Copies of this chain bind each other. A is one copy, B any other.
Amino acid sequence: MAGGAQFTPADTEPRYEVFHTDCAARDVVGHATSRWGIWVLISLQRNDLRFYELRESIQGISEKMLAQSLRALVQDGLIWRQVEPTTPPQVTYGLTEFGRDVSEPLVELFDRITRRVAPTAG
């Protein structure tokens, strides 16, 4: 919580701090719940995946947005990236411990919505 968070001293309500400040957590929340980030995290919940596997798993995503999302999530420490120096090169992505922590509620969110909105799907 860098800088000076400014709150009304009289306000005793324990409001969420991130609502009011530029907190790093807010960025991570943004990345984890971003348009494509959430599907990347959910996809990797089941098993590690290669770049093209992620691209094929998440319909509609472009290579650009996939690469961009992956970079942000790696940066945040949610997923790891492993490069096999073969030809052709193989790059595998997977969830870190933090990433598993974060993707769990995302999967739960997704499941609850799916059960309610499209209970017959699957």
> Which residues of A pack against B, CB within 8 Å?
1, 7, 14-21, 23-25, 28-30, 32-33, 35, 38-39, 42-43, 47-50, 53, 56-59, 92, 98, 101-102, 104-106, 108-110, 112-114, 116-118, 120-122
Contacts and interface: CB of A to CB of B under 8 A. Distances in A.
A23 B116 contact: no
Contacts of A57: 7, 15, 19
Given A19-B39, A56-B7, A116-B98, A29 B121 contact: no
A34 to B, nearest CB: 8
A7 B54 CA distance: 11
A38 B42 contact: no
B29 A113 contact: yes
A24 B106 contact: no
A59 B19 contact: yes
Contacts of A101: 112, 116
A117 B116 CA distance: 32
24 contacts: A1-B47, A1-B49, A1-B50, A1-B118, A1-B121, A16-B39, A16-B43, A17-B118, A17-B122, A19-B59, A20-B59, A21-B59, A23-B121, A24-B117, A24-B118, A29-B109, A30-B35, A32-B113, A33-B38, A102-B109, A105-B108, A105-B112, A108-B108, A109-B109
